[in-house]
Structure 1
Amino acid sequence: MAFSVAACSQKGNSGKQTTDREEELRDTVETGVATFSNPLLDSGADPWVLKKGGQYYYTHTTGNRLVLRQTDHMENLDSAVPLTIWKPDPGQEYSHDLWAPEIHFINDKWYMYFAATTDQDRDRNRRMFVLENSSDSPMNTEWEFKGKITDTSDHWAIDGTVLETGGAHYFIWSGWRTRDQPENSGKQQLYIARMENPWTLSGERVMISEPELEWERHGLVNEGPVAWKNPAGDIFLFYSGSGCWTDDYAIGVLKLTDPDNPLDPGSWEKYPEAVFSKNPGQGVYAPGHNSFFKSPDGSEDWILYHANDNPGDGCSPARKPRMQKMEWDSNGFPRPGIPVSRDSVLSVPSN
């Protein structure tokens, strides 16, 4: 296991350690067990990471550009230099509010999906867009803008992600039922459509989830979908429910019961309770919009998410990326546990 004391020191305490913290650090040195503590960065909403070739490529919402970091150990993310890979020209339909970027590797090329909007009537005009990079590494500026990725309805859309199953790729995102929010009753649903290629959808969208459960209805939101498999290969779709402006933002899950028919709403089994929610006693509020990664040796699953340190922080730069190990129960159901405090000292992912 790689030894890294620096990864666990001085986060969130202005460079000052408490006596207990100093003792923990000394214990780390004495035992040789590498540790870290959350948060990973001082700010970073909607964190996303892709592991490829022993490297982790990380991105989060910046608002006006797309940025990547590369590291071989996620606990050392704060030492990875951020690189601006693309910035939109002004006056375009994708020039503002660049949200929730995701990097994917499809058919031997890199793709970056992100939501953006225009300079006027921003909320109504939010849509999804995609970039392509055919280089060996995504850590350059050789990204080509491929355009808007949308179904035939071309309605409001954010938080797009990619699911591969049954030999095909599918795009899943958070959207409105209609073009105008007043007619939509303020709801955000999850939709899926088949991908003709990494920048084009084919056929009609299908709704697979909407905010109907009590824990999802603090803002009537379903967003931030991400697919992940358990050790047996079962596919789960994690998503965030309730509004990010509330302390009750949390993570729920759907299970794909028929991997060959993801366009059938009946193939998705929705679990009634959130699997990851706030922990006020430990100073963690509104945990959500997550992604996942494997440890360097591939033996562990880790959840990466953002959360606030204080109640009422809402959808602000106060959101910080955090990570912790996720377990699976005997039935293969995900058990991410509870979000740990920023004072918790955690062992780093297994090498």
Structure 2
Amino acid sequence: MDLPESWTWDSGEYYGEGDPFILKHNGIYYLYVSTVDDKSGVKAWTSEDLMDWKYAGLVTEEPTTKAAYAPEVVYWNGDFYMYTSPGGNGHYVYKSSSPLGPFKKQTDNLGMGIDGHVFIDDDGKWYFYSTGANRIDARIMPSPTEFGKATDTGAKMNGWTEGATVLKRQGKYYMTYTGNHIWNKAYRIDYGVSDSPDVGFTTNKDQNPLLLNTEGENVGLGHNTVVRGPDLDSDYIVYHSHANPGRNINFDRIAWNGEKMLVLGPTTSEQSDPALPDFSDRFDRKDIGKNWKSVNGGKWGITNSSPNWLEQKTLGKKTWYRQVSKASTEKEYTVEFNMKMVEKGKSENPRIGVVFSYKDEKNYGTAVLSPEHNRLETNFVVNGVEQGWEYANLPEGYDYKNLHQIRVEKSEATFRIFVDGMQKQTREVRNLGAGSIGYTTSDVHGAFGYTAYSNKVDGSNIFDAYKPLPGKIEAVHYNAGGEGVGYYDKTKKKEVNPYRQDCIWQAKNA
């Protein structure tokens, strides 16, 4: 990937983009990379689709960011925190109200090795990962600028180990990390799995290294981040390689097979563009338009601001005002909503949130945020019958006037509800399938940002993605239908069928 305004040495020699990190916030991707050793400041680029990147300038010019290695940015409750290691010597924390800065220094040098990474678990607890003694250490964080004692995560290579990234998927914790010297051609990425965020990471030798290439121009692969694609379902591993001189950024698809993490790469040729959502809206216009409809009234409109927001202004009533899309999801989908409260009324429980699988007022799901009780509340209505409200507490100190995200994943009859990346509820609801998506308020003046859905869930986008060759293709990842369909034994058995059921069966011709 070529970026405008790449880092160069004072001599003019290309330095490039090492240790890439990508933050997605309100539908925009923000890329941060290591700073060349002879300069201060951290550069950033922005994109809506992971393909076209615009240079956004320096997001900080603090003197302590000279040779700022591996900057990572975390959004939490209205603030952005940057963690970076100056020249590989300890860590500083910086803070800003915008992903584009200016980031201001919040701490002195805290030590803790290099290549700091932050992970926030479903319960709202923070963890910080960095280099230890040829291993990756973890520390519980009481706050975004406080760090506890180090624990050995178990993640290590045979020698120097750095560049941890942690994600959670279906109850398991996955850590990617990099080993040996950065300028070695065998610089590589491994991964480990654990049932805990800070200890017990183990590796499977048959599945590692995750990425390695020692021949040709694309060698020395390492220090990655993992980012969700624009379709809300595809995962990408983003890493650097040697550019001789300097370093370049690389993107490859992650292909999940159960608990196995696989990468369709490393690739050196052009790949398909990242898939886009089936529906999205940034509300970057003056009027709501024909793609949305109002239910139960309310004063809906588009703000005159930058960026624009969809908003509902009416207060003082307990009516559920809704704005729903005329477009409809399929039976299985992933949807992302972004919102903030402008003002709340004086009722017992003012709420702001979302609707999905919406057919009419007798068939829909809803997930709302309650500022009064600091919790997520969900309910489902099927054929006019309420399925019952369920509640999940949110972290202390939540400020609902700042942007928060709700994400809904629907797989068969299972609905998984996430708030700011934290999985807060899982509900089984039958007889509720395809439908519209939208926003809802009750006695809240709310503002709503980037909105999108994709008719994919649980990484199913990978089934129909092109697979690079030479490489390894898992049997489970055959095409879903059409040209190049796969075949399998669909024998009926009493036990749960272990095979995918979406393939065309042609036993007569087998």
In the superposition, the TM-score normalised over structure 1's length comes to 0.68
Greater Rg by CA = 2
Aligned residue for 2:168?
Answer: 229
1:251 matched to 2:181? no
1:179-231 CA deviation, whole Å, 9 max, x = no partner?
A: xxxxxxxxx321111101111113x11122464xxxx44xx21100011234x
One of 277, 299, 302 as aligned partner of 2:212: 277
Matched positions, count: 260
* Partners of 1:44 and 1:225 in 2: CA distance: 18
Corresponding residue number in structure 2 for 1:103: 73
Q: Flag the structure with higher helix content.
A: 1
**Match in the other structure for 1:163:** 119
Q: 2:137 aligns with which of 183, 191, 195?
A: 191
* 2:135 is equivalent to residue 172 of structure 1: no
Aligned letter for 2:81? Answer: Y
> RMSD of the alignment, in Å?
2.4
Q: Hey, what does 1:200 align to over in structure 2? A: 146
Task: Tell me the equivalent position of 2:99.
Answer: 138
Write the distance in 1 (CA, Å) between the matches of 2:27 and 2:65.
33
Aligned to 1:28: none
CA contact under 8 A between 2:186 and 2:219: conserved in structure 1?
A: yes
1:322 maps to 2:250: yes
Of structures 1 and 2, the one with the larger relative CO (CA 8 A, separation 6+) is 1
Match of 2:35 in 1: 62
Give the aligned partner of residue 18 of structure 1: none
Go from structure 1 to structure 2 and tell me whether the alpha carbon gap of 1:95 and 1:174 turns closer, same or farther (over 3 Å shift). Answer: same
Q: Which residue of 1 aligns with 2:229?
A: 295
Q: How much has 1:244 moved relative to structure 2?
A: 0.9
* Distance (Å, rounded) in 2 between the aligned partners of 1:233 and 1:69: 32
3-state SS in 2 of match to 1:76: coil
Counterparts of 1:55 and 1:233, CA distance in 2: 27
Contact 1:279 1:339 in 2 (8 A): no
Q: Which of 30, 33, 43 in structure 1 is aligned with 2:16? A: 43
* 1:84 maps to amino acid: L
How far off is 1:293 after superposition? 1.1
Shift of 1:53: 1.0
CA pair 95-335 structure 1, distance change in 2 beyond 3 A: closer
C-alpha separation between the residues in 2 aligned to 1:333 and 1:108? 35
Aligned pairs for 1:4-19 (under 5 A) are none
AA aligned to 1:227 is V
Q: Are the aligned partners of 2:165 and 2:175 in contact in 1 as well (CA < 8 Å)?
A: yes
Distance 1:170 1:289 in 2: 18
Q: Which amino acid in structure 2 is aligned with residue 102 of structure 1? A: E
Q: Does 1:307 align with 2:241?
A: yes
Partner of 1:338 in structure 2? 265
How big is the shift at 1:234?
Answer: 2.4
Letter in 1 for 2:126: H
SS at match of 1:81: strand
Residues 209, 245 of structure 1: CA spacing in aligned structure 2 closer, same or farther, 3 A cutoff?
farther
Gaps of 5+ in 2: 3-13, 277-510
Corresponding residue of 2:498: none
Residue pair 1:127, 1:148 contacting (<8 A) in 2 also: no
Distance 2:58 2:229 in 1: 26
Q: CA deviation at 1:67?
A: 1.4
Cα deviation 1:219-261 (Å, max 9, x = unaligned): x21100011234x342201000111121011001121223xxx
**What is the alpha-carbon distance in structure 1 between the residues aligned to residue 65 and residue 271 of structure 2?**
39
- Counterpart CA distance in 2 for 1:246 and 1:279 is 9
The letter for the 2-side match of 1:322 is N
Q: Deviations over 1:47-95 (max 9, x none)?
A: 1101111100101011321111111121112xx1141011223xxxx35
CA distance in 1: counterparts of 2:79 and 2:109, whole angstroms: 17
Q: Which amino acid aligns with 1:105?
A: Y
**Contact 1:68–1:82, Cα closer than 8 Å, also in 2:** yes
Counterpart amino acid of residue 145 in structure 1: K
Say if 1:295 and 1:301, in contact at 8 Å, map to a contact too: yes
Instruction: Give the match for residue 88 of structure 1.
Output: 62
8 Å CA contact retained: 2:183, 2:242: no
* Shift in alpha-carbon separation, 1:318–1:278, aligned structure 2, 3 A: same
TM-score in terms of structure 2 length = 0.48
SS in 1 for 2:52: helix
CA distance in 2, matches of 1:318, 1:107: 36
Match of 1:268 in 2: 201
Deviation at 1:103, TM superposition (A): 1.1
C-alpha distance in structure 1 between counterparts of 2:51 and 2:66, whole Å: 31
> Kindly tell me: are residues 271 and 87 of structure 1, through their superposed partners in 2, closer, same or farther at Cα, counting changes over 3 Å?
farther
**What is the alpha-carbon distance in structure 1 between the residues aligned to residue 214 and residue 232 of structure 2?**
28
Gapped runs of 5+ residues in structure 1?
1-6, 9-40, 118-122, 178-187
Q: Name the aligned partner's letter for residue 204 of structure 2.
A: Y
Instruction: Find the aligned partners of 1:194 and 1:140 in 2 and give their Cα distance.
Output: 26
